[in-house]
Structure 1
Amino acid sequence: MSGASPPLPPLREVIARYGLAPQKSLGQNFLLDLNLTGRIARAAGVLDGYDVVEVGPGPGGLTRALLDNGARRVIAIERDRRCIAALEEISAAYPGRLVIVEGDALEVDMKSLVTSPARIVANLPYNVGTPLLVGWLQTEPWPAWFDSLTLMFQREVAERIVAQPGGKAYGRLAVLAQWRAKAQILFDVDRRAFTPPPSVTSSVVELIPRAVPLAEANPRVLEAVVAAAFGQRRKMLRSSLRTLTPHSLPLLEKAGIDPTQRAEELSVEQFCALARAFAEK
């Protein structure tokens, strides 16, 4: 399905015509470099036959690249009404292949909008990237309705997603991401590629959902245990878990974990054991 793209005006011209100055309140940083949007679309793999969910398309730079790269349909979720007209121009150029959803991605039932197989590819607005990812990772039932996530985050967030036990970056996000997915940083994106340039480097992260999570756990219980453990990460687990239960010692004993350990020392599997012990309490 991929091939020569239909004639569309340059993105800068579109932004000027519709007055699309990026809004800080919406976490907007537009990608105008078509070589880069093409690279991100290609990083998502062969898209022929796939529905692709894109969050925060803005003026549609990545949207165009996803369509050019062969996506069967792109479901673009945008809460900024100013961007809708620009996206409608793209929709007209690719008849029947762009579905524009005006709304808050945190509230949209994405699963109901796609036909399998589906992928998620997005330059995520900075202020909702983490909650969106956590929501996708807590999808029920599992395996999820998507078979890959190709997402852009601030470099610091990307490092937290792939972090290993023992390091400063290791925390809630690493445990939740690696429990149900294999995560890797694909490449960094220079801040000058954006309008306006953010103050930090960004990174594109690939997450491939595991058919079976690393270990058995209830996602909501695991989330609560991990949040409590890392909420006071300098304390020993026997103390930090007291925000969750006054009976932290027997739980840690049941899970086979030393109560003097700290959250950052535990593997994903150990957190799952703790979540199972808590669920059985």
Structure 2
Amino acid sequence: MAIDTLPPLREVIARHNLSARKALGQNFLLDLNLTAKIARLAGDLSGTDVLEVGPGPGGLTRGLLAEGARSVLAVEKDPRCLPALAEIAEIYPGRLKVIEGDALQVDPRAHLSVPYAVAANLPYNVGTELLVRWLTPAAWPPDWSSLTLMFQREVAERIVAAPGSKAYGRLAVLAQWRCEARIAMSLPPGAFTPPPKVSSAVVHLTALPEPRFPADPEVLSRVVAMAFNQRRKMLRASLRGLHPAIEDLLREVGIAPTDRAERVPLEAFCALARAVAAAR
């Protein structure tokens, strides 16, 4: 079923010679019904600007616009994709702006009305770094209201993981401290061209008005990074450089110094961050 008057994506890719490049982390999703479904996962976009990273030939871009996004700002590093995106802009006048550049270096805020939504089939090689940046802005609540992001299934599971699981780590703590996070959709390798070696999943994160538990963001980030950087060690060892009396601080907030990071729930990490900040 067509979602607009443009040709199918396979035809667009063939006409513009857009073979996916591994160096850019590209895996194109060609089924426009799927891209429209992903766009719907972002919620009602009718009064919302959307930031899209790595649109490629524009499958998700077309889905977002067809589903009613007020405007889409697409940041694309690959200049080969720009002509295909320009064709989309022509049939959605004034609703698509394309910036050629690296999403890690482009500041999109001047082109978007706050709060905006983020929706992207993220390039595998920069997805996690972009997520961490979105989760750790200078002030909270952030400029964005929601993130609807495609990741490798393994990364998606790390974002929503619960304490005690092997997937639980820094990403889970950072995401769940300030967001509602859920896996909204799973996709097999065969949905993409070329097929990646792993399955993928769409994660939907909604920004909370304020963090679930009080903590200084920089202190919490440091505590969590040190704890999970040596996750096989007991906390009294992995956090030794944090404070001379780290064992006392751990006991003070109800964490056994012999515990390992993967057993510590979010609330306890926040309590430890507060205790460390107070002890300085």
What interval of TM-score do these two structures reach, taking the shorter chain for normalisation?
A: over 0.9
Distance 1:51 1:217, change over 3 A: same
Aligned to 2:48: 50
> Please, which of 111, 114, 120 is the counterpart of residue 112 of structure 2?
114
Q: How many angstroms does 1:116 deviate by?
A: 2.5
Equivalent pair of 1:164/1:174 in contact (CA under 8 Å)? yes
Q: TM-score, normalised by structure 2?
A: 0.95
Alignment of 1:2-151 (within 5 A): 6-151=4-149
Q: Distance in 2 between matches of 1:6 and 1:166?
A: 46
Alignment partner of 1:148: what SS?
A: strand
Aligned to 1:202: 200
Q: Distance in 1 between matches of 2:262 and 2:65?
A: 41
Alignment partner of 2:239: what SS?
A: helix
Which moves more between the two structures, 253-262 or 30-39? Answer: 253-262
Q: TM-score, normalised by structure 1?
A: 0.94
1:175-212 deviation per Cα after TM superposition (whole angstroms, max 9, x unaligned)? 00000001111121121110100011101111111111
Aligned to 2:226: 228
Equivalent pair of 2:236/2:257 in contact (CA under 8 Å)? yes
Alignment of 1:252-263 (within 5 A): 252-263=250-261
1:186 maps onto 2:187 in alignment = no
Q: Which runs of 5+ in 1 are unaligned?
A: none
Equivalent pair of 2:3/2:32 in contact (CA under 8 Å)? no
Q: Distance in 2 between matches of 1:79 and 1:232?
A: 35
Q: Distance in 2 between matches of 1:6 and 1:192?
A: 24
Q: Which runs of 5+ in 2 are unaligned?
A: none
Alignment partner of 2:74: what SS?
A: strand
Q: Distance in 2 between matches of 1:113 and 1:275?
A: 36
Alignment partner of 1:70: what SS?
A: coil
Q: How many angstroms does 1:146 deviate by?
A: 1.4
Q: How many angstroms does 1:119 deviate by?
A: 0.6
The alignment covers a number of residue pairs equal to: 278
Equivalent pair of 2:39/2:64 in contact (CA under 8 Å)? yes
Q: Distance in 1 between matches of 2:241 and 2:75?
A: 37
